[in-house]
Amino acid sequence: MPNIRTLLSRVMGVPRDPGSGAPAAMSARAPSQPASGAVSARAGLAALALVTLVCVPWAAAEAATEASGREQIAGPAQVVRSVATDQKVVALTFDAGSDAGHTQVILDILREQGVRATFFLTGQWIDSYPDLAQAIASGGHDVGNHTYTHPHMTGLDEEEIQEQLTLTEDKAVAVSGRSLKPYYRPPFGEHDDRVGRLAAAEGYPQVVMWSVDSMDWKTIPADELVSRVVDNVAPGGIVLMHVGSQTNEPEALPRILGELARKGYRFVTLSELLALAEPAGGTVSYTVAPGDTLSSIARRYHVSVSSIIEANAIRDPDTLQAGAVLIIPVAGGSGGNPPSGGDPGTGGPGPGEDQGGWGKDDPGGNQGSPRGILGWLARTWTALNRFWGAVWGLLRRLVPEI
């Protein structure tokens, strides 16, 4: 393949010296100039080639980097039904996917009681009720992704699953200014590992289920609704409720709040609940922060890199995605508290801890190890080679004499 200088000279019609390939000296012996139309056409092709050769490789490299960041994830998403804690805390969660229902009444009750909850919104619901979506976000409540159309996610293909999540996220940000990440709740509670991996790749490392189902959507009487929730709540629990008009939440919710408060319970958002999570069975969850490496995480918890890889079935140890949740096998059930005071499960390193060097500020995840950098360069080089071959073939078809 000729170099760029030779290529442009040929496209522009500059004569070449047969021996060296360099531009021939312009003299009386030079061939007559091409017609003005030919010069104009070749000049246009040259300009197009120059812009293409400069701009598209950059775009290809960016695409390669983004793709690698999305594909290399640290295991499936973590399914959360409750957290292990001795504290009397409970997270009330409301799904919004049908009508506006009692949303405003529920927000008023929560505000009057000084309680913050978590709302899982569908994209269609946000479309239909943007003012309520804004009110939820401005009220200090947590928000999560409940898909766009509330489908059976395990029956969709990969592209459809990704679309359900990304469309809802984009709509939420546009309407309320709040991202729904990192929380995803599957419609109907239907979930499998395939959906979990795709959700994690889209920025949802935590699939939120529940420990108490209020069954409010069945229009059960308020007394039964109150009993189902109050009698089944345990420390660290997550309660499933709905905002729809078929529920009796306006009558039941004040009583639920009152009775649980009398039992000593404190109401928290999902993010507050997960921050209180205590390890069980000798493991602790850790959310990967930008700049983290497996080595830095292993040092933080005094465990081996291989034990983290094995516990999470990590496919590519050189690349982690920020936001992915790792299971850390803490020896002897020591509680998983980072020795330097970091907060387990929140992704926050302790004071003065290693944050991964070169990839520290890269939101796409760790690229700080030498093998990670080489892998990125290899992927980019492959993309560029494919592109150059395509451009060269196109130019040969457009300008046969090159």
Q: For residue 33, count other CB atoms closer than 10 A to its CB.
A: 9
Residue count of the chain: 402
Measured distance CA(101)–CA(121) in Å, rounded: 13
Question: Thinking of the domain 79-275, which architecture would CATH place it in?
Answer: Alpha-Beta Barrel (3.20)
Are 283 and 346 a contacting pair, CB within 8 Å? Answer: no
Q: Given this model, what pLDDT does residue 329 score?
A: 78
The predicted structure's pLDDT at residue 367: 36
Q: Which residues contact 19 (CB under 8 A, 6 or more apart)?
A: none
Q: Is 146 a catalytic residue?
A: no
Q: Are 308 and 294 in contact (CB under 8 A)?
A: yes
Output the pLDDT for position 135. 97
In the beta sheet, which residues pair with residue 283? 280, 329
Low-confidence ranges of the chain (pLDDT < 70): 1-76, 278-285, 290, 322-323, 330-383, 385-386, 389-390, 392-402
From the list 95, 142, 216, 318, the catalytic residue is 95
Catalytic residue among 102, 150, 242, 318: 242
- Please enumerate in sequence order all residues whose Cβ is within 8 A of that of 177, keeping only pairs 6 or more positions apart, or say none: 137
DSSP at 312: H
Distance CA 371, CA 374 (A): 5
List, as one string, the DSSP characters of 12-72.
Answer: HT--B-TTT-SBPP-STTSPPPPPHHHHHHHHHHHHHHHHHHHHHHHHHHHHHHHHHHHH-
Predicted structure pTM score: 0.57
SS (H, E, C) 76-96: CCEEECECCCCCCEEEEEEEE
* Torsion of the alpha carbons at 137, 163, 319 and 336, rounded to the nearest 10: 40
Joined together, the tokens standing for residue 182 give: 């990192």
pLDDT tens-digit series, residues 292-348: 788 888 877 778 888 888 877 787 777 777 667 777 876 543 333 343 333 333 333
Span between the terminal Cα atoms of the chain, in Å: 11
pLDDT score of 30:
44
* Angle, vertex CA 239, rays to CA 238 and CA 241, nearest 5: 145
C-alpha–C-alpha distance, residues 314 and 362, integer Å: 20
pLDDT of 46:
59
Task: List all residues 6 or more positions away from 306 whose beta carbon is below 8 Å from its beta carbon.
Answer: none
What local confidence, expressed as pLDDT, does residue 170 receive? 97
- The answer to whether residue 242 is catalytic is yes
pLDDT in tens, 353-369: 332 322 323 333 333 33
**Dist CA 2 CA 156 (whole Å):** 48
Q: Which residues contact 400 (CB under 8 A, 6 or more apart)?
A: none
Question: For the chain, what is the total number of helices (H) and then of strands (E)?
Answer: 13, 11
Q: Find the farthest-apart pair of alpha carbons in the chain and give their distance in angstroms, rounded.
A: 104
Distance of alpha carbon 181 from alpha carbon 144, whole angstroms: 6
Determine the residue type at 35: A
3-state DSSP assignment of residue 285: strand
Angle at 324 between CA 377 and CA 210, to 5 degrees: 160
- Residue ranges per structural domain of the chain: 79-275, 294-373
